[in-house]
């Protein structure tokens, strides 16, 4: 499954607008429609964080194959159910690596699922991964980098 963004190409730098140094809004995303998928889920991860993989976004029960820029930061939106990120907030939390670090990589992982998942308040990425077990048809990702100036 190919994952794309009109804001950045795979492997390129994520524009400041989508980070803690900018407007901290989610970038637009689009992915291939997967036959048989009833819903999609997205987990955004930074594996370069000092304390281990840092979660920036958890959203599931998405019923289209794209998300617009700036998905509202609330648990239930017209685009899906959003969980809690490692900033302890609901919705998208943009890249915000320590200023002294080299560029971090941010993986926007998209999962095509055989069914909708049960609504769970403040779901974490680990909980979502457990809920998705045995229900993933296909997955894809786009990676963007960011370094604070």
Q: Tell me: the pLDDT tens digits for 13-49?
A: 999 999 999 999 999 999 999 999 999 999 999 999 9
**What's the CA gap between 126 and 58, in Å, rounded?**
10
- pLDDT reported for residue 149: 86
Query: Measured between alpha carbons, how far is residue 120 from residues 11, 52, 58, 74, 105 in Å?
Result: 33, 25, 12, 13, 28
Residue-wise pLDDT tens digits, 77-136: 899 999 999 999 999 999 999 999 999 999 999 999 999 999 999 999 999 999 999 999
In the chain, where are the structural domains located? 3-135
- Matching CATH number, 3-135, of 3.40.50.300, 3.40.50.620, 2.40.128.20, 3.90.280.10: 3.90.280.10
- pLDDT reported for residue 111: 98
């Amino acid at each position: 499954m190919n994952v794309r963004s009109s804001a950045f190409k795979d492997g390129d730098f994520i524009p400041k607008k989508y980070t803690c140094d900018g407007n901290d809004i989610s970038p637009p995303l689009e992915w291939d429609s997967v036959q048989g998928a009833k819903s999609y889920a997205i987990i955004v991860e930074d594996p370069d964080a000092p304390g281990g993989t840092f979660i920036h976004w958890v959203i599931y029960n998405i019923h289209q194959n794209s998300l617009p820029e700036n998905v509202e930061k609330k648990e239930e939106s017209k685009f899906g159910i959003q969980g809690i990120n490692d900033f302890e907030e609901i919705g998208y939390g943009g890249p915000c690596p320590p200023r002294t670090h080299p560029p971090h990589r941010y993986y926007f992982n998209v999962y095509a699922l055989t069914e909708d998942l049960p609504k769970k308040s403040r779901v974490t990425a680990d909980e979502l991964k457990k809920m998705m077990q045995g229900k993933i048809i296909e997955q894809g990702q786009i990676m963007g980098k960011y370094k604070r100036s």
